[in-house]
Every structure is written in C-alpha cells, then in structure tokens.
Amino acid sequence: MIGTIMNNLWRLAVALPLLLAFFDGAIAVPHKAVESRDIIDRLIFAHFMVGIVEERGSASDWDADMQAAKAASIDAFALNIGTEQGSLTQLGYAYQSAANNGMKVFISFDCSYWSNDNAAQMSSTIQQYAGSGGQLLVDNRPFVSTFVGDGLDIGTIKANSGVNPFFMPNFAPESMTDDCDGLFSWRAWPNNGNPSPPDSQTNITTSDGDEAYVAALNGKPYMAPVSPWFSTHYGQEVSYAKNWVFGNELLWYNRWNEVLNLQQQYIELVTWNDYGESHYLGPLNSAHHDDGASKWVNDMPHDAFLTMAKPYMAAWKANSLDVAPFIKSDSLTYWYRSSVKGVECAATDNCEKPSPTTNDDYFVGKPNGWDLLNDNIFVVALLTEAGTVTVTSADNEPVSFQAQQGQNAFEIPFKAGTQKFELTRNGNTVLSGTSLKSIDTVCTCGFYNFNAYAGSLPASTPASLRSDAYDNFAAGLPSPTCKAQPSLSASDALTIWRKRNFSSLSDHISNLLSLIAIWNVTILRRLVLDPVMWEPHGRGQSRHHLPQSPGTPGWPCSVFVDTRMLGVVVAAKQVGLVHGSV
C-alpha cells in the first residue's frame, strides 16, 4: 500500500516537469550538422519504473526482467527511482540481480523527487553502487542519468560521490552545463506543443528534438529516446488523473529508421514497464502493482514491438544505416487499437468527471488527441526477400501490398472483427495467421482504450498480467463489461503452440511457460490434456515428449504437469521437472 501511495504521489509530481520536458521542444534551436565522430561502443538502455515494483521481495524477483532484457539485446536498465525507501530497497535488489544475470543497470534519478536539496544523498547513492558488478560503466566510470532535473548541480554531485560518474541527465538542451557528460532526451513522441498529437498548425517531430540536443551537445554524447506508443487514461479514481494520446501510430517503425541515421552513441527505450502511459515493451507478467493501468493493459501485449526491433538494434549496434542485412528471417508485426474510435462510452467511462483541481493534462471524456488517430491496422514487414503481404480485416476484402526485401510499413483501415495476416512469395504461403485480438464495435470494457495491441507472425503467445496486477482494474468503472482477467483466445494459443517448431529444449520450455502464464485453469487443463501433445501419465499427471530429434543432447526427455494442481505457480514448478532421460 505504501508503494501504491508513493507511486500515486510520484505520478502527481511527475506530470508538470514531464510536460515541460516535452513542450520546450517548441523553442527553435539552430540546426547544426551532426559531426562524424569515432563511435566505439553503441549501447541500448531501457527505462525501468521502479515505483511500480516496490512489492518485490528479493533480488531474484528481478531476474526475469534482467534475462528478458538481456535476451532482447538491451545493455542496461535505467532505474527510475524516487526518494522513498521502497525505491531505494529495490535499487539494491536490482543491482544484485543484474550482477547475478550478467546484465547492467544504472541509476536514473527521478527529479520530480530529487533536487539540489538532497544532492548529498544523490552522491552517496551513486557511490554506494559504483563498485557493484551490476553497475554500467562507460570509460570505466559509473553511468548516471535522470528524468528531468534541469538546474541540478551536477558538478557538486559528481565531486562529492568520489567516483567520477559519467553523468547524462535528462535536461532540456538549453540547460546543458559543462559538468554534463552528455544529455538524454525525453522527446520521444511527436506532439503539437500540448498533450496531443501533431496537427496542421503545430508539428513538433522527434527529429526536431534530436536536432536541438545534438546542437546543444556540440560533440558530447547524446542519448536518443525511442518509444512505441503513448496513451494514458487515468480519471478521478486516482490522484494523478491524466488523459491524452500522442498518436503517430507508425512511430515505432519510423523512429527506428530515423535513429539509424542519427549516428549517435546511446539509445534509451522509453520504456520497459510504464504500463500507465502505454509505452511498455517488457512482458505483461513482469511483477508490478496496479496503479490503475490494468484496464487498458489487459490483453494488450507489446512483446511484438520488442521482437520487431531486434534487427534494428543489431543494425544500430553495428553502426549500419541499413537494417536489411540484419533481417535474418521473415516477420510481420502488426498493431491496432481494440475498438473503433467513434464508440461512445460516456455512460461508463472513468474520465467523465471534471478535474477537481487544475490539471493541464487531464481531459474529460475521450483522451485528448483521440480524433487525430486513425482506425487503421499498422503492419511492418521485415523480409529476407520480396513478398506479398495480405491483410484481411473482418469481412472486408483482403488488401495486398508488394513488399520489398528489407523493411516495409503499411496501414489500412480496419473493421471490427477478426484480423488476418499473410505473407506469400511465388505463390507459396510463408506466414499466415489470425490475431489473438479482435476489434470491438462497442467500447471495450466500458471505457475509452487507446492503447495498442501488438502481434506478430511467426506468432507467439505473449504472457498475461499476473493476478496481483489487476487490483485496481475496476476502479473508476461503474460497470465494467469485462472481467479482470486475461481473455486472449486460448484455443488460438494452443493451435499456435502445436504448430511451432522448437529449435532447442530451452526454446521449447520457455514457450511452454509463456503459454502456462495465461494461468486460467480451464486453459491450463486444456493444455495439459491436449491429446496432440500430451499423454496421460497416471495419477493426474500428463507427460509431454519434446519433439527433439533423437541423438541431440537431452533426448529423450519429457515434461510432466500435474493436472491435480492447477495454480500457475504450481504448474510452472511442475514444468521444472524436466528429465534428461525417462
């Protein structure tokens, strides 16, 4: 509860500086050509909100995030911390887990909390972790960053830490000082100078932000933000009401192509786990408490965004301007909102009451900027060879695009119903599948949800929210029309799982675990009793022979699931019973 309260305070405090961080983007800064520099070590970070994970009880509670981020080629987490003890406790766990998992982290002081008043504590906190095995070092110096914080006395904080940190704060370009070793930008979303997407009058692009920073930095390193989406819809059910979208729905694709050409040293993905603003890239089952965001996060995995970025991240790290050589297999990534934007939810929506206080980022009704979004499906095809992409939206006529080798993006109007995707080449079907998420004609769950569902082919079965991440699902919804539980179609998930080819035992187990993470008892039962993959094995157990080739290491092997114990945790533990031989 303390964590929730602190997080609520954090949310409230963060609103104003966050907006300032965006909107000073409107100030014109003369363009300066990017100088060519010797770029040695290009790194990719992801912003991690520590405030929503304060219930974690040990370093091992951080392991899954560390492993998932590392597997996704993320070099370090930027740990966004407030001043409350809960954040500081988690900092210790995170550093320990990073060290245990061969991952790196660094502190990102959230300066809605931290200021020159507690500069001494900033120095001592930097000093405390500087020697940890989990600390990211740059030029052998501990890396430190911030969220906002213009005017912070970086020189004094560095000197008093005694460890010569490499300090890249998130100041506005105009606030750059000689003590900054570089700057991080939060200008990840195109906007119109207000909490709204660009419009015909004002169009502040992400490259406007880059240019302002690169000019101010004058050769010092720049950390560019890359983000997939932005949508938030908190009403009076919380103390940090805010309600807007930024739009630019192909941002995740356009921005990656843009940063490849930026020729800078650092990228920070915004974010790993900020579910509240819908720019998370991490899995839904990353342990966190519900600050009221679960209503728009349930059934809206973003895993496919992160998968799509893989070749881009490889290209960027290799200092390549072209992603094509890094595309090793064909993929389609698609995303869309879960209902048509014209639906009326006023009778049941959580943002219908006017704000009792002055709050510039709270808007009554639909999220500000909603009308500038499109009822479209966005599809990115990353192809090893040219092909034809076909999208069939409900009972509309299929729409086909000729896609080239390399990167391609398309958008087409959607219709409520099921969404199908296909890649063909020389008359053969290469990839084909139906999205797990259908589009509704009514307001999903009774409120305005402008978050995006992201899916992909080859298909995967993304994890769901943990049961404790639904605690505030119904807050603000007088009559929610859906349940606080995952509902992506289980039978589709099963079909996908059956058809998969697994290249290794660990691949197989991790896919099995991701399916079990759906945790619904009915689905779990169906999974373990599925006759195609499983055979009964007496006394409530099912046995699954892994389809490995005989002769490969680990063969023969089986997984046992005890169908008498159907809780998720128990099932996952049972799946741990993998035998090298039976």
Which residues here bind ligand NAG, judged by CB under 6 A?
A: 198-200, 203, 205, 485, 490, 499, 501, 520, 522-523
Least gap, CB of 299 to ligand NAG (angstroms):
12
Least gap, CB of 145 to ligand NAG (angstroms):
28
Least gap, CB of 526 to ligand NAG (angstroms):
8
Distance CA 157, CA 154 (A): 5
CB environment 12-41: b (16+ within 10 A), e (fewer): bbbbebbbebbbbbeeebeeeebeeeeeee
Q: Select 204 or 351, whichever has its Cβ closest to ligand NAG.
A: 204
Distance CA 357, CA 229 (A): 27
Least gap, CB of 206 to ligand NAG (angstroms):
9
Q: Select 138 or 490, whichever has its Cβ closest to ligand NAG.
A: 490
Q: Select 200 or 218, whichever has its Cβ closest to ligand NAG.
A: 200
Closest to 380 measured CA to CA, from 487, 452, 465? 452
- The helix-helix angle for 85-100 and 2-23 (nearest 10°) equals 80
Q: Select 107 or 380, whichever has its Cβ closest to ligand NAG.
A: 380
Consecutive H or E run containing 104: strand 104-110
Distance CA 372, CA 367 (A): 11
CB 304 within 8 A of CB 333: yes
Q: Select 31 or 579, whichever has its Cβ closest to ligand NAG.
A: 31
Least gap, CB of 449 to ligand NAG (angstroms):
20
CB 21 within 8 A of CB 110: no
Least gap, CB of 460 to ligand NAG (angstroms):
12
> Which residue matches tokens 């998968």?
307
Least gap, CB of 203 to ligand NAG (angstroms):
4
User: What tokens does 208 get?
Assistant: 């406007």
- The helix-helix angle for 206-217 and 251-260 (nearest 10°) equals 30
Residue type, 335: W
40 three-state secondary structure: coil
Residues sharing a CB contact under 8 Å with residue 447, sequence separation 6 or more, in sequence order: 233, 295, 296, 345, 348, 349, 350, 351, 476, 477, 480
Least gap, CB of 522 to ligand NAG (angstroms):
4
Q: Select 442 or 521, whichever has its Cβ closest to ligand NAG.
A: 521
User: What tokens does 69 get?
Assistant: 């981020």
**How many residues are listed for the chain in this entry?**
582
Q: Select 84 or 440, whichever has its Cβ closest to ligand NAG.
A: 440
Least gap, CB of 411 to ligand NAG (angstroms):
13
From the CB of residue 202, how many other CB atoms can be counted at a distance below 10 Å? 12
If DSSP states are collapsed to H, E and C, what string results for 168-229? ECCCCHHHCCCCCCCEECCCCCCECCCCCCCCCCCCECHHHHHHHHHHHHCCCCEEEEECCC
CB 417 within 8 A of CB 198: no
Least gap, CB of 9 to ligand NAG (angstroms):
34
Q: Which residues pair with 456 in a beta bridge?
A: 333
**From the centroid of its chain, how far is CA 295?**
16
Distance CA 338, CA 329 (A): 28
3-state percent breakdown (helix, strand, coil) of the chain, nearest 5: 30, 20, 50
Least gap, CB of 490 to ligand NAG (angstroms):
5
Q: Select 132 or 196, whichever has its Cβ closest to ligand NAG.
A: 196
45 three-state secondary structure: strand
Least gap, CB of 189 to ligand NAG (angstroms):
12
Least gap, CB of 417 to ligand NAG (angstroms):
18
Q: Select 122 or 459, whichever has its Cβ closest to ligand NAG.
A: 459
Q: Which residues pair with 191 in a beta bridge?
A: 204
**Peptide bond before 177: cis, by omega within 30 degrees of 0?**
no
Q: Select 14 or 524, whichever has its Cβ closest to ligand NAG.
A: 524
Give me the phi and psi of 559, to 5 degrees please. Answer: -115, 135
Q: Select 477 or 488, whichever has its Cβ closest to ligand NAG.
A: 488
Question: What would you measure as the largest C-alpha separation in the chain, in angstroms?
Answer: 74
Distance CA 544, CA 534 (A): 5
Least gap, CB of 91 to ligand NAG (angstroms):
36
Q: Select 175 or 487, whichever has its Cβ closest to ligand NAG.
A: 487
Q: Select 129 or 370, whichever has its Cβ closest to ligand NAG.
A: 370
Question: Is the dihedral angle over the CA atoms 102, 104, 105, 106 positive or is it negative?
Answer: positive
Least gap, CB of 519 to ligand NAG (angstroms):
9
Q: Select 280 or 470, whichever has its Cβ closest to ligand NAG.
A: 470
Q: Select 356 or 427, whichever has its Cβ closest to ligand NAG.
A: 427
